[in-house]
Amino acid sequence: MAYDDLRGFLAALEEEGQLLRITDEVLPEPDLAAAANAAGRIGEGAPALWFDNVKGFTDARIAMNVHGSWANHALALGLPKDTPVKDQVETFAARWDAFPVAPERREDAPWRENTQQGDDIDLFSVLPLFRLNDGDGGFYLDKAAVVSRDPEDPDDFGKQNVGTYRLQVIGNNRLAMQPVPVHDVALHLRKAEERGEDLPIALTLGNDPVLTLVAGMPMAYDQSEYEMAGALRQAPAPIATAPLTGFDVPWGSEVVIEGVIESRKRQIEGPFGEFTGHYSGGRRMPVIRVDRVSYRTDPVFESLYLGMPWTEVDYLVGPNTCVPLLKQLRAEYPEVQAVNAMYTHGLLVIISTKKRYGGFAKAVGMRAMTTPHGLGYVSQVIVVDEDIDPFNLPQVMWAMSAKVNPKDDVVVLPNLSVVELAPAAQPAGLTSKMIIDATTPVGADARGNFSTPVQDLPEAEEWAARLRQLLAAQG
Amino acid sequence: MTLCPRCAHDVVGRLATSPVPGVWDVLQCRRCLYTWRTTEPARRTRRDAYPDVFKLTADDLAAAIEVPAVPPLRTTS
């Protein structure tokens, strides 16, 4: 089941019991963010939250926590809501193989219904903006899919980027934006600024759930997010042409904001409570001037609470960080079995692999650090044997405790690149990185006493089935 | 006079007002761009209740680094 827009997905969530409507009047602050924060603290299966009775507003419609549980993540992919996490990641990886799926262009985009231009633009009149965390410098758009093109190759569909970046509303028609230097939009901006030109940009809000997943996915520079969305949703992604920039934007968006990043300008931004579980900001960031806003009648404002994990963002960028790393590693090392990169967008990664020869696991760890995403994230890698499930943390801890001789199995590499947001970096943007080789030594690596592992008894599997049957009969 | 809760600057503008008249305004410091709604808790709206850890000074603002740095202009020869 592919959803073409946010509204279709919200309806499906409601049908599945995964959308909770808050009908009592709430304050914009702190209630909206506190409720979404709390959704991550009430256990498994948290629902999306819907608010339409917000003090001081006459027609606010706000959706939060839309991707904020494994149940909702499964439904976003069209899977049953009780699909186990590992199966969701494997389905994600299997569908990836259909990439690229050409998008479907439609010209009747519902966001064409209403327009603001020039001096009439007032983002506050279109969006019920609000603050998330106490220390945030202001009100943010933190779940937009941002579209930009390579100024040196503007007709290349693959190099057109769709990504999620934090955007602080700093005026009725102005936003400050954080382009993380390792991300594609920063490459586009650098090229434009080297030429002294503004960078045209389109911010799309309130999108179908798979497009949002893809916008947060680390992909190769020339891979199209729309073609990946088509593969993951098993149907072409519907796109339309944005009226001012001519960019390809989602057909189903609630709001499409177009303008430019003003060349060579920076303005104070933040702080903002980030996916790292820490605030970052108080830095001077690029500024967007909005020139046109297109929006549906009665638009839905989708926002995301983030803070100390786990919150919605951890579900949103969990599987979609695992799968690109898995694919990129397997392309060179088919021995790689599975990758768990769900911790802080892959600052820490657990990889299970077969060993080609002694020292191989460390090579896999180093390669993870040099993937496109690894350059800015992967700071700690734990490598485990092929019979360890990297999503099963007790198994991983067993491997760490039993297989690691720290003197030779822990490698620390100084002064490597990392996103400036990484709280442990010193200075910002630079960190040491670590590989923990928790695999069993093989080949020339003859260290340790691993020749006689205790393996599950051959009959244990049959007994497991028998125990389950007996339990079921008893209960 | 309204002071910015974060940097104590005394020039504060209004970005928005509530669609239901008289419920709240969204204010913004013209120096540090801190933005707040008048109905938010005191810890976000009042200088004397604003957490020290988030306060900014004129020196902090002057010392804020650029991210990403503005690159050199490419010259064509």
- Please report, for residues A104, A250, A330, A332, B24, the alpha-carbon distance to residue A228 in angstroms, rounded to integers and kept in the order given: 13, 13, 18, 21, 43
Dist CA A162 CA A252 (whole Å): 15
Q: Within a domain: residue B37? A: yes
What CATH number matches the domain at A6-314, 3.90.1150.10, 2.60.40.10, 2.60.130.10, 2.30.110.10? 2.30.110.10
Cβ contact, residue pair A193, B70, below 8 Å: yes
Question: In angstroms, what separates the C-alpha of A20 from chain B's closest C-alpha?
Answer: 24
pTM confidence score:
0.93
Active site residue A274: yes
pLDDT the model gives residue A474 = 92
pLDDT the model gives residue A404 = 98
Residues of chain A with pLDDT under 50: none
Q: Within a domain: residue B4? A: yes
Cβ atoms of A51 and A26 within 8 Å: the answer is yes
Quick one: which H or E segment has residue A410? Answer: strand A410-417
Q: Where are the domains of chain A?
A: 6-314, 318-438
Q: From the candidates B28, B35, B55, which should be mutated to test the interface with A, based on the most A CB atoms within 10 A? A: B35
Q: Could you give phi then psi for residue A103, rounded to 5 degrees?
A: -75, 170
- Whether the per-residue pLDDT at B76 is higher than 70: the answer is no
Dist CA B48 CA A318 (whole Å): 40
pLDDT the model gives residue A219 = 85
- Please report, for residues A169, A408, A449, the alpha-carbon distance to residue A445 in angstroms, rounded to integers and kept in the order given: 56, 11, 12
Provide the ipTM.
Answer: 0.97
Q: Which of A27, A268, A283 sits opposite B33 (nearest CB)?
A: A268
Q: What is the pLDDT of residues A122-169, one digit of tens each?
A: 999 999 999 999 999 999 999 999 999 999 999 999 999 999 999 999
Q: Within a domain: residue B74? A: no
- Whether the per-residue pLDDT at B77 is higher than 60: the answer is no
Q: Which of A56, A168, A193 sits opposite B19 (nearest CB)?
A: A56
Q: What is the pLDDT of residues B2-48, one digit of tens each?
A: 999 999 999 999 999 999 999 999 999 999 999 999 999 999 999 99
Cβ contact, residue pair B44, A172, below 8 Å: no
For residue A368 the two structure tokens come to 């993870």
Cβ atoms of A135 and A187 within 8 Å: the answer is no
pLDDT the model gives residue A1 = 77
Question: In angstroms, what separates the C-alpha of A34 from chain B's closest C-alpha?
Answer: 13
Residue B43's domain spans which residues? Answer: 1-53
pLDDT the model gives residue A194 = 97
Q: Within a domain: residue B70? A: no
Q: What is the pLDDT of residues A54-108, one digit of tens each?
A: 999 999 999 999 999 999 999 999 999 999 888 899 899 999 999 999 999 998 9
SS3 B71: coil
Q: Within a domain: residue B38? A: yes
pLDDT band at B1 (very low <50, low <70, confident <90, very high): confident
The tally of domains found in chain B comes to 1
Question: In angstroms, what separates the C-alpha of A206 from chain B's closest C-alpha?
Answer: 22
**A301-303/A62-64 β-pairing:** parallel
Give the alpha-carbon dihedral of A165, A91, A71, A102, to 10 degrees.
Answer: 50
Q: State which fold the A318-438 domain adopts.
A: UbiD C-terminal domain-like (3.40.1670)
